[in-house]
Structure 1
């Protein structure tokens, strides 16, 4: 018997990676999408057994996309709507449409597992085996955006961390590539911001290692440097690596972090830069 197919759609790379990894451990086949329109196209192409979709996504929100898929004559699939903000209105919409609902809060993993068990009762044992590990990892899917800062200069890291926290962003810190790889694999940051020059592996090394693991392959990486990088180095950093994008941005270190933070906010739902005194 073929494994059931789950299509997971979320514009946050952290959530996408966390859900994909856990569902694969349960024995499901997983496909992914990063926006509502992409979800529609992939769902119509592959006819998944279940769709797990974030409600707030660019191009098309999760509820609207689900409505189009499930209209009469459309796709026959179960849907779990995922949201970072509890909402009675969203819950009522889900109940009216016959959709499952899970909020990215304390009970998130338990809610997902309960829905999976109802939808796939023949896989209840495999799902139950993963509930324990989920329960001990309440921070695997962050309720706030999470950025991993990688720099061997602690002062630079503290400077960036203090300003990111003002935007409501959770910050992880690693002084080298090895530590960054471990944190990225276990804590699913939405973005990695890394120094280029580091003694135990530079930014290119870190990006290549991130791209070599399914759990971290899609995490966007922004490179910062105290000196101007030449054109050849910049192209090398931005090239595709193992089928995934390289660095999504390269910036000089500066006390003016507005451009850097604008780039970060393309991958994080944080407060507008203008609203925060940097």
Structure 2
């Protein structure tokens, strides 16, 4: 099985590559930045928004994990080319190659202005409320995934990814964190899911308030909990205040930052 991973040189791609390695599986790593393939990997340099380059990158592929694009707030023109044009070109290349399984790694910033519910968890299907221009691009990604499922029958899972790093680095992350191991578990589930799904990318955190129901519906069973990192963070920063926008909004501090300024 050959899986195309776009954005393979980025932080999340770098964390996931060894965790997605399997006998009989070949990861084709795609990025504009240099990436050195290891065992069970091959690499290709491709601009997401270049149809010819993406058609070449897609040759012989069985599934796609789409991590590529502009990963932070930037001027609108940069975001449009990388994230909107890039996702559409990628999906069209997948369609032309007959690829049926696509995982779009989006962002919780597509729903950043949603607030913590008074009770229960916020569904992964909560209506988009982007917090940045970057978040708007991830809403468009979700819409493109829906279109290519409904019109062409692709199996598409879009992940509203939380904070993926080896350990929570701040008290907000105690709610939003997804461990690299859990992220790999989620992508493995997404690679075999049928239909169209939007799921939160989050671990089974004690302080989590994003729903795991939609992820579990496709076979995702998180094993990690950010509470293992809570002690030192609470000692340094204090207990999170649920009324503080940083902890009340899905997008946290990104709901407060100037629009369109690079970060």
TM-score class, shorter: 0.3 to 0.5
Query: Which has the bigger relative contact order, CA under 8 A and spacing at least 6?
Result: 2
Query: Which protein has the bigger helix share?
Result: 1
TM-score (norm 1): 0.36
Which protein has the larger Cα radius of gyration, Structure 1 or Structure 2? 1
